[in-house]
Amino acid sequence: MKRSEINEKIRAGLEFMDEMNFKLPPFARWSPEEWLTKGDEYDEIRDNMLGWDITDFGSGNFIKSGLLLFTLRNGNIGNGRYAKPYAEKIMVTEEEQITVLHFHWKKMEDIINRGGGNLLVQLYNSDESGNFANTPVELSIDGRNYTAQPGTIIRLTQGESITLSPGQYHQFWGEKGCGKVLLGEVSKVNDDHGDNRFYAPAGRFPEIEEDEFSRYLLCSEYTKI
User: How high is the pLDDT of residue 225?
Assistant: 74
Residue 55 has a pLDDT of: 97
Is the pLDDT assigned to residue 79 strictly greater than 80?
no
Q: Is the pLDDT of residue 157 over 80?
A: yes
Q: Which pLDDT score is estimated for 167?
A: 98
- Contact by Cβ (8 Å): 155, 173: no
Percent of the chain at pLDDT above 70? 99
Q: How confident is the model at residue 224 (pLDDT cuts 50, 70, 90)?
A: confident
Which residue from 180, 127, 170, 174 is spatially nearest to 155, judged by alpha carbons? 174
CATH label of the domain that carries residue 80: 2.60.120.10
Mean pLDDT over 111-118 rounds to: 98
Query: How large is the average pLDDT for residues 192-202?
Result: 95
Residues 170-182, mean pLDDT to the nearest whole number: 98
Whether pLDDT at 77 is above 80: no
Q: What is the dihedral of CA 54, 57, 63, 69, to 10 degrees?
A: -20
- When pLDDT is averaged across residues 197-215 and rounded to a whole number, the result is 95
Strands 86-93 and 119-126: unpaired
pLDDT at 20 over 90: yes
| Nearest of 92, 62, 67, 99 to residue 181 by alpha carbon | 92
pLDDT in tens, 29-58: 999 999 999 999 999 999 999 999 999 999
Contact 125, 147 (CB under 8 A): no
Cα 94–Cα 97–Cα 102 angle in degrees, nearest 5: 125
The model's pTM is 0.95
Mean pLDDT of the chain: 96
3-state SS of the chain is CEHHHHHHHHHHHHHHHHHCCCCCCHHHHCCHHHHCCCCHHHHHHHHCCCEEEEECCCCCCCCCECEEEEEEEECCCCCHHHCCCEEEEEEEECECCEEEEEEECCCCEEEEEEEECCEEEEEEEECCCCCEECCCEEEEECCEEEEECCCCEEEECCCCEEEECCCEEEEEEECCCCCCEEEEEEEECCCCCCCEEECCCCCCCCCCECCCCCCCCEHHHHHHC
Q: 16 lies in which domain range?
A: 3-224
Indicate whether 64 pLDDT > 90: yes
| Phi and psi at residue 130, to the nearest 5° | 85, 10
Q: How many domains, the chain?
A: 1
From CA 148, how far away is CA 115, in angstroms rounded? 26
What does the pLDDT read at residue 175?
98
pLDDT band at 82 (very low <50, low <70, confident <90, very high): confident
* Rounded Cα–Cα distance for residues 167 and 116 (Å): 29
pLDDT band at 83 (very low <50, low <70, confident <90, very high): confident
